[in-house]
Each structure stands twice: as C-alpha cells, then as structure tokens.
Amino acid sequence: MDIHEYQAKQLLAQFGVAVAPGAVAFTPEQAVYVATELGGSRWAVKAQIHSGARGKAGGIKLCSHYKEVRQAAQDLIGKRLVTTQNAPDGQPIQRVYIEVATPYEKEFYLGFVLDRKAERVRVIASKHGGMEIEEIVKTDPNAVIQTVVEPAVGLQAFQAREIAFQLGLNIKQVARATTTILGAYRAFRDCDALMLEINPLVLTADDNILALDAKMSFDDNALFRRPNIAAMHDASQQDPREAQAAEHNLNYIGLDGEIGCIVNGAGLAMATMDMIKHAGGSPANFLDVGGGASPERVATAFRLVLSDENVKSVLVNIFAGINRCDWVAEGVVQAVKETEIKVPLVVRLAGTNVEAGRKIIRESGIPIISAETLGEAAAKAVAACRDHKASLAAAQ
C-alpha cells in the first residue's frame, strides 16, 4: 500500500525526521488559508498522487503570492497528472500539499528498501539528490552509497555516520544527518514499510537537514497491526478494478492483454497466464478468487473481468479442493445470465464434484466452451479470442 507525501512526512516527523512546515488542502480557498496560516513569503503547492516525478510533470508549483497559491491549487485539484511513473491516463489529484518553500544549498538522495535476496534492509544514499535512483546508477554508479542492516541489531549510529560522511557533510551537519537517517530507519522498520524514499533530502544554509519529499510503501499483510497506516489508504489512486476486487476479497491485477482469467489459487493463476502466453495469447489480468469460490464471488469476478474493454475472451480455470466445481459452475451460469457476456467463454473444471459441475455447464443452455486440461483450455481461449476479433473486424 502506498501513501501520499504529506502522510509520509507526518510519519517521519513522529520519528524525529525534520520536515518543512506544511498542510494539506482540498480546495483552492483552503490552500490560501493554509498558506496564510503557515506564514512566509514563498510556498510550494504539490499535487498529492501516488507517483514520483511530479515536478517534471507540472505537479509542483512555486508561489510567492496568495493569488498564485489559489491559481496553482485550482490548476491541480480535480485534474489528472500523468508522470513517467504512473499509468498513461495518470492519476486524479484530489488534494494538494502546501509547504513553506525552504531555501537549501545541497540535495541528497536517501532510501530504504527491503532487499528480498539478501533478506535485509538496504540503505541507499547519494550526493545526487533530485534524480531517480535509476538515473544515478546509470550516470555515476560510484556515487551510490549502500549499507546492509543486520536485522538482529538494526541500523547502528556508526553506520548512519558513515553514510553522512560519505555524503560530504561536515561534523556539525553529520550529527543532524545521523539523527535523520536513524529516524527514517525506525519509521521504515516500525511501520512495516517495504520502501521509504526521501528525495531530495536537503541541507539548508543554517546546517539543518530536511526531508523535502517522501514516498512510502507498506506491506499489505502487516496492515492489520498498523490501523493508523491502513486508515491512510486512498482508493482513488488505485485502478478502480483493483479497488473493487479488494472490497470483495478478490486478488486482482489488471494487465494489457485480451484474455480475461478467473482462477482459484495464485500459483494456478500464474500457470494459467503462462499457458496463455505459450499458446500465443496475452492475459488481460491476474485474478485469484481464492478458496471460497461461491457463486456470488464467481459472479463478482466475471463483472470485474468484463469491465475491461480489452477483453476478447474469458478463461475460467478451477481446480477444486476446498472449492466445489458445482459451486463454481453455478457461479459461471449466474454470471453469464446477469452480465450478458458478449465474448467467448472457456471453462475448465477439475477436482471436487467435477462431474456435477460439468453437468450444470452442459445443461445451462449457454454456449460455453469446455476443456479438460489447462493446455487445451489455454489454446481454446486464444483461438476464441482471435475468432472474436476477426468477427468484430468483419462487422465494422
């Protein structure tokens, strides 16, 4: 789960990381009020979306007058911002963050990530702030500073000081940078984060170290013990289909293909996608209906898959253990009748009550294409997809 910049800064501040004064606004009028309350003579108006590279896309505007603050907020709120890191149609801006524009002398990069290969937290830093870490690695690999944290003891003060010295800071600056690095690590660890990025981390003229931007991502599986973080979830930043799936406890990820997939079990879903690719097609989604594939859940899964206009055929692949094939078959029939499916449907059932399930499919009177093996089902789904596309083209 991702959160907004202002939310990440609120968390970081709780762990002793210094941030510039700021507050969130949902309307242009509220943005002006926030600026007057913050004081100062220059403000940054920042679009709040779950994406980096906002500045390059026009999502961060510097203002020196209240009228400019109002105009900047008006230009951003209610629009969609397209960056190099998000979807082609961008993400909606529903709020802006008004922050006192603090002059600074140097920019740095500081990040924390869960390195699954090393099974450790990896700290990444660089003198080149304001750039994406991928760009830094390409342009100057030697400028990337990395430290691996031993989980039994956590990030130690001497490690934080070493990072600070390698950033080229003096003694006074190192002390403050050490506090910042250790505080950021504690925020990462204690909030069950998967990624924390402060870019840029800046050095001000009076030797303060400030987090000028912040991104955080969290482990969804740990949110049950972090209700304060779970409450920060903004569903508007998700693919609407993924948000709908989450409401029904379905695991869904939208892809760019043309064959919709409804499968029980994550491993089987991955295998189904692989077989579709092997047969020459492309999956439109990953969808795991889970162990309790009741007729209602299957019907919901159908509506979700068919909401994608790119879908030209649907493959249902169920291997019933905890599930029952007759339940799934009932769900398939119910879904087809409710949604008036207009694309070919391939169904492969195996496992518990498979014969009863196949009988329900046969006697439904619905033109469903049956298959007994995964390979056969994938091949039929790809062929049906091609035939449907050809018929659409001929009708135009």
Which position among 5, 197, 258, 330 bears the catalytic label? 197
- Is 396 within a domain? no
pLDDT at 291: 62
Note whether 306 and 380 are same-domain residues: yes
Question: Residue 229 has what pLDDT?
Answer: 94
CB 190 within 8 Å of CB 200: no
Residue 365 three-state SS:
coil
Q: Which residue has the higher pLDDT, 288 or 211?
A: 211
CB 348 within 8 A of CB 377: yes
CA distance 214 to 2: 11
pLDDT of 278 > 70? The answer is yes
Which helix (H) or strand (E) element contains residue 385?
helix 374-395
Structural domain contains residue 302: yes
Report if residue 316 sits inside a domain: yes
Sequence-ordered list of residues with C-beta below 8 angstroms from that of 262, at least 6 positions apart, any chain: 287, 289, 298, 301, 302, 305, 314, 315, 316, 317
Which residue carries 């898959």 as its tokens? Answer: 305
- Give me the residue label for tokens 């859940």: 297
Instruction: Indicate the residue among 194, 219, 238 that finishes a domain.
Output: 238
Burial class (CB in 10 A: 0-12, 13-18, 19+), 296: middle
Best mean pLDDT range from 181-195, 329-343, 347-361 = 181-195
Parallel, antiparallel, or unpaired: how do β-strands 251-254 and 285-288 relate? Answer: antiparallel
Q: Once rounded to an integer, what is the mean pLDDT over residues 369-391? A: 93
**pLDDT grade for 53, boundaries at 50, 70 and 90:** confident
Is 70 exceeded by the pLDDT of residue 248? no
Q: Which of 118-132, 168-182, 287-301 has the lowest mean pLDDT?
A: 287-301
Q: Which residues fall in the annotated binding site for substrate?
A: 264
Q: Are residues 39 and 118 in the same domain?
A: no
The CATH number of residue 78's host domain is 3.30.1490.20
pLDDT value, residue 336: 81
Q: From the candidates 109, 252, 258, 330, which is the catalytic residue?
A: 109
List binding-site positions for Mg(2+). Answer: 199, 213
pLDDT attached to residue 140: 78
Alpha carbon distance 236, 283 (integer Å): 25
- Please give the distance of CA 75 from its chain centroid, rounded to a whole number: 25
User: What distance in Å separates the CA atoms of residue 340 and residue 260, rounded to the nearest whole number?
Assistant: 16
Q: Give the tens place of pLDDT for each residue, 20-42.
A: 999 999 999 999 999 999 999 99
Residues 57 and 201 both lie in one domain: no
148-199 residue pLDDT tens: 999 999 999 999 999 999 999 999 999 999 999 999 999 999 999 999 999 9
- pLDDT value at residue 307: 85
The CATH number of residue 271's host domain is 3.40.50.261
Give the pLDDT band of residue 75 (cuts 50, 70, 90): very high
Give the contacts of 296 (CB within 8 A, at least 6 positions apart). 331
Q: What percent of the chain has pLDDT over 70?
A: 96
Q: Which of the residue ranges 117-121, 250-254, 290-294 would you say has the lowest mean pLDDT?
A: 290-294
235 SS3 class? helix
Average confidence score pLDDT of the chain: 90
In a domain, 332, yes or no: yes
| pLDDT score recorded for residue 85 | 84
Q: Is 294's pLDDT higher than 80?
A: no
Residue 295 has pLDDT above 70, yes or no: no
* 109 is annotated as an active-site residue: yes
Whether 7 shows a pLDDT value over 90: the answer reads yes
On the question of pLDDT at 353 being above 90, the answer is: no
| Amino acid identity, position 347 | V
What was the pLDDT predicted at 293? 58
The CB-side HSE value for 377 (13 A sphere, CA atoms) comes to 28
Neighbouring-strand partners of residue 100: 43
Shared domain check, 112 and 64: no
Clarify whether residues 195 and 250 are in a common domain.
Answer: no
How far is 320 from 98, CA to CA, in rounded Å?
53
pLDDT cut 90: percent of the chain above it = 61
| 385 shares its domain with 360 | yes
Q: 80, 101, 122: which is the final residue of a domain?
A: 101
Would residue 285 count as lying in a domain? yes
Task: Note whether residue 215 is domain-resident.
Answer: yes
Does residue 132 belong to any structural domain of this protein?
Answer: yes
What per-residue confidence (pLDDT) applies to 244? 66
Domain enclosing residue 68, as ranges? 21-101
Annotated binding site: 46, 99, 102, 107, 199, 213, 264
Residue whose tokens read 């912040």: 214
DSSP secondary structure letters along 74-131: HHHTTSEE--TTS-TT-EE---EEEEE----SEEEEEEEEEETTTTEEEEEEES-TTS
Q: 351: burial class by Cβ within 10 Å (0-12, 13-18, 19+)?
A: middle
DSSP label at 312? -
Asked, for residue 54, whether it belongs to a domain, the answer is: yes
What are the distances in angstroms from CA 380 to CA 106, 232, 383?
Answer: 60, 44, 5
